[in-house]
Amino acid sequence: MKHIVVIGGGHAGIEAAHIAARMGMSTTLLTMNLDQIGQMSCNPSIGGVGKGHMVRELDALGGVMGRLIDATGIHFRILNESRGVAVRGPRAQADKVKYRIAARKNLEHTPNLKLRQGMASAFRWNSGTKGFAGIELLDGSFIKCDAVVLTSGTFLNGQILIGEKRIEAGRAGEPPSTHLSEQLKSLGLRCRRLKTGTSPRLAKESIDFSKLEIQLGDDPPRPFSFFSGRIPQPQVPCHIVHTTPETERAVRENLHRSAMYGGHVEGIGPRYCPSIEDKFVKFPDKARHQIFVEPESLETEEIYLSGLSTSMPPNVQERMVRSLPGFEKAEIIRPGYAIEYDSFDPLQLRRDLSVEGLEGVWFAGQINGTTGYEEAAGQGLMAGINAVRWLRDQAPIILRRDQAYIGVMIDDLCTKGTDEPYRMLTARAEHRLTLACDLADARLLEVSRIIGALTEDEIQTVEAKLDRREKLRDQCDEAWVTQTSEFGAIALDAGLNLNAGMSLRDFFKRQNLTNVHADRALALLPGWAETQGGWDAAWERDLLLFETRYDGYRRREARLLQHHQDWDGVRIPEDFPIETLLSLSNEVREKLKKHHPETLGQASRIPGITPAAVTLLHLLIEKRRSA
């Protein structure tokens, strides 16, 4: 029987191992410390704008992150709720202790999956880098397997930096992995150093919360997973505080002692999650910066300061923290730190996340240059799925850019690469109107059927929702709105003068209508008030209004999308002699050789490749085929 090993117990490893086992493949999750599976090394939260979209997509495809946060979340909020269906995203504060326990328990009870503690030191093939044979461990043992998914996080040659101090570590209190990274480099893979960081943790009792702005969660909290019931954990508030002039003085007077500005950091840090040092240096005109004060767990008294990531020495961190209102007597339990680690150029990956030239090897997570739990989880899920399908001689599953934010992320990595830690943003997606996070279950239903990780009951839950949604659309087309109809009073209240009748769907296109007016109109339809089967009336109303009011934009986007899909369906032969195509410019040939696009669509998304060059490349491919 064929066997897969997933290396790493972080969020990418959890998803890769879980989905491989759910697909019926014999799987082993290998990690340095079984007690640290699912550890939240940085901010103890899941989701957000863009990131929350990916968690819903994970859930729709059979992933586990959404269910874990629903079971352990202690503060849920929908972000960007007033900005429209396409860009709003769920976020939840996790009880990090319970999340870690729930993650391990879930894996321990997943059929076909075994957990093993140990450190991988080398990959072995039967011939060169063909025919994957297994994994050598640092203790001298050997795991025989047919494929491996490497989700190493920050552990490859990891170094923690606090001020002038440099500590060899993959995470605070845990050793780095050095042997495996050196082997990968010796095999010719292009490596670079990246950096991320974390904030100090404080003692809750040392903070005066009366001076902070309270931030309540949604009531009731809305689950991440399409298949969760109620949220079981008690809900707690978070708080907000802002930096002061003294905070800025503490930073500026000690920049030379910062690991980053003192010249101790080699790696490139994340643009969209900057350290507090970066904030003051790069945004000198900003008077103050917002800090989120977030509980880490109901089981501990630790508080996380999101937005205060730093690599300053501990005494400077204390001065910075105590400059905040309400933190005059604050005690730091764990100082913040920066961490550098090896990652590998994602342009060396195929679109299924397998590594070119290394048979049977998939990469997922921070090793590919991303940052964030959700980004790692999305890659882990797809790497696990495609490793299983490769072993079964099945075609890989490649999510399109219009199908999922996960597809946008992977296409960005494999097509454009990244020279800094990549974070998912809704602005990266061209097709945001079709990628609303609450539509992920419907949008990805057919892919879910192919993967086979959802139960029959879960599939039927999605189908029932789609059937009810279609019946609602039919009712809106059939219901007729006139001044004398039962909808007339609603139109009058909204200030609409109905000179002629119209369908209820056209009626909903009128911008004068508020949500209250829409709810009154929908209440007149038979069956609307029924709430069985997870029907969320407020969301379904928002979705209906979104569809009707943006119908023209959606149709235009669909036409553009068809053109892109046509190009994505044209494969570039692996042995296509790019270097001999003198009709293409030197720049285009160099970019094609560097990026190795698999399709014309992928080639069209490489920066610097013009539509004219893609059209010419298409002609050359067709000419070769007909020769």
3-state secondary structure of 598: coil
Segment 414-437 mean pLDDT: 89
Rounded (10°) CA dihedral 449, 450, 454, 456: 40
Q: Residue 498's pLDDT is what?
A: 81
* pLDDT tier for residue 296 given thresholds of 50, 70 and 90: very high
User: Residue 439 pLDDT more than 80?
Assistant: yes
CA-based nearest residue to 241, from 214, 218, 259: 214
Number of H helices, E strands in the chain: 21, 23
Nearest of 254, 284, 266, 248 to residue 338 by alpha carbon: 266
**pLDDT category of residue 56 using cuts at 50, 70 and 90:** very high
Tokens 């399709």, residue located:
599
CB atoms inside a 10 Å sphere around CB 43: 23
Q: Calculate mean pLDDT across residues 289-306.
A: 96
Contacts of 61 (CB under 8 A, 6+ apart): 19, 381, 385, 444, 447, 448, 451, 453, 454
- Of the pLDDT bands very low, low, confident and very high (cuts 50, 70, 90), residue 298 is very high
Tens digit of each residue's pLDDT (9 = 90 or more) over 237-266:
999 999 999 999 999 999 999 887 777 677
HSE, side-chain direction, 13 A CA sphere, residue 234 = 6
d(CA 370, CA 362): 15
Res 561 pLDDT > 70: no
Per-residue pLDDT band for 83 (boundaries 50, 70, 90) equals confident
- The tens digit of pLDDT for each residue in 478-514 reads 999 988 899 989 988 988 888 888 899 999 998 888 9
Domains of the chain in sequence order: 201-340 (2.40.30.260), 456-551 (1.10.10.1800), 569-626 (1.10.150.570)
The answer to whether residues 510 and 494 touch, using CB atoms and an 8 Å cutoff, is yes
Band of pLDDT at residue 86, cut at 50, 70 and 90:
confident
Query: For position 12, what pLDDT does the model report?
Result: 98
Residue 23: name the closest of 146, 111, 143 by CA.
111
Neighbours of 162 (CB within 10 A): 22
